Amino acid sequence: MSPSHRVVIAVFPDVDLLDVTGPAEVFALANRVTSGRAGYEVRLAGPDGGEVRTSAGVRLVADLSFAETGARVDTLLVPGAVDLTDAGPVARVDQDVVAWVKETAPHARRVASVCVGAHVLAAAGLLDGRTATTHWSTAAQLAAEHPNVTVDPDPIFVRTDQGRLWTGAGISACLDLALALVAEDQGEDAALAVARQLVMYLRRQGGQSQFSVPLSRPATSRRDLDELCLWITDHLDEDLSARALAARMCLSERHFARVFTQETGVGPAAYVEAARVEMARRLLETTDAPLDEVAEAAGLGSAETLHRAFRRRLTTTPAAYRRRFRAQAA
């Protein structure tokens, strides 16, 4: 069977290795789980063809040079590279890659960036007037350098231009983006079958946050408080009042509330509610459980409390959230 989806992935010096190999593996597994019907053909394109050294030190071999790519491209995938500075990672924008993307993108059915590859798409003018995401660590750079781009640093990926243009967050989110592309082409069953082959906990939807609640805040200066935050996520259906948590920390309730707020930036009640809403979101995305059962499992008690929490934190209702993010074949 001849390939029906030619995926061309850009490779260039110091490109992030997983940004290239992660999506390539997803497309290969899609071929496997559909017995070849998916028809993905993955090719690597580099500045001159031949070997390219990645950021991990592993060398990849480009199948094509940029000049040899031609117009037969179904999906153009653009990963990224960063330079590490004292101020943190800075997305690298190679002008040769930008020129190639600008020339090739009009011939592709769709274009997707992985991680800081969004900076290349922006430099090529593809993101002007659109919403895009990238790795959280370079989102401010993207917004500052491209004021015509609406940068949202939170989602796993963003789909725009009637599905022709995708931008993805960093590192492991490349798998989520590639799975979403497979779902668009082959349906949810195929994407979920690939996710199972990858032993992924679930196929995250694009609107999900890049961070879970414990990871969305920097580590505190107290190990016991970090351990408490992780414990909270495993015991959401228990008594997590400030009094109960203070007793677990062997502190007075007033002192505990002061320390918790100073270290995490939010009060104990707000942190617990955020963690419970995150659990409720996961249940709404992956199960058909009634709202009262979701509320109970997440520690929110009742469907009414669940509604109030969703309105307050997500400005939507649990039912509307489920309709948007529930995987149809889960």
Per-residue pLDDT of the chain (330 residues; tens, 9 = 90+): 456 899 999 999 999 999 999 999 999 999 999 999 999 999 999 999 889 999 999 999 999 999 999 878 999 999 999 998 888 889 999 999 999 999 999 999 999 999 999 999 999 999 999 999 999 889 999 999 999 999 988 788 888 888 899 999 877 888 889 998 998 999 888 888 898 888 774 445 545 554 445 544 555 567 888 888 889 988 999 999 999 999 999 999 999 999 999 888 889 999 999 889 988 988 887 788 999 999 999 999 999 999 999 988 877 889 888 887 664 333
Model pLDDT, residue 221: 67
Half-sphere exposure in the Cβ direction for 246 (13 Å, CA): 16
Model pLDDT, residue 210: 45
Model pLDDT, residue 211: 43
Which letter, b or e, does each residue of 59-88 get, where b requires 16 or more Cβ atoms within 10 Å of its Cβ?
ebebbeebeebeeebbbbbbbbbbeeeeee
- The C-alpha atoms of residue 270 and residue 237 are separated, in whole angstroms, by 16
295: left (phi over 0), alpha (psi -120 to 50) or beta: alpha
Cβ-contact 14, 55 below 8 angstroms: yes
Alpha-carbon distance values, 192 to 34, 36, 181, 182, 202 (Å) = 12, 16, 12, 9, 8
Length of the chain in residues, anyone?
330
Question: What Rg, from alpha-carbon coordinates, does the chain have?
Answer: 22
The count of other CB atoms within 10 Å of the CB of residue 236 is 17
Tokens (6 digits) for 31: 């071929």
Q: What is the DSSP letter of 155?
A: B
Half-sphere exposure in the Cβ direction for 77 (13 Å, CA): 31
- The C-alpha atoms of residue 89 and residue 259 are separated, in whole angstroms, by 31
Name the pairing type of β-strands 88-91 and 82-85.
Answer: antiparallel
Nearest to 255 by CA among 182, 265, 245: 245
Tokens (6 digits) for 191: 């994407």
Q: Catalogue all structural domains in the chain, each as residue range(s) with its CATH number.
A: 5-197 (3.40.50.880), 214-325 (1.10.10.60)
- The C-alpha atoms of residue 316 and residue 300 are separated, in whole angstroms, by 16
Q: At what angle do helices 253-264 and 268-286 cross, to 10 degrees?
A: 60
Q: CA-based diameter of the chain, in Å?
A: 69
**Residue type at position 170:** G
Nearest to 194 by CA among 23, 1, 4: 23
Model pLDDT, residue 285: 78
The count of other CB atoms within 10 Å of the CB of residue 302 is 12
**Residue type at position 289:** A
3 state SS of 112: strand
Model pLDDT, residue 193: 87
DSSP H helical segments within the chain, as ranges? 17-33, 95-104, 118-123, 139-145, 173-186, 188-197, 223-234, 242-248, 253-264, 268-286, 291-297, 303-314, 318-325
Q: How far apart are the first and last CA of the chain?
A: 29
Active site residue 250: no
Q: Which residues contact 268 (CB under 8 A, 6 or more apart)?
A: 240, 242, 245, 256, 257, 260, 261
- The C-alpha atoms of residue 89 and residue 188 are separated, in whole angstroms, by 35
Model pLDDT, residue 115: 92
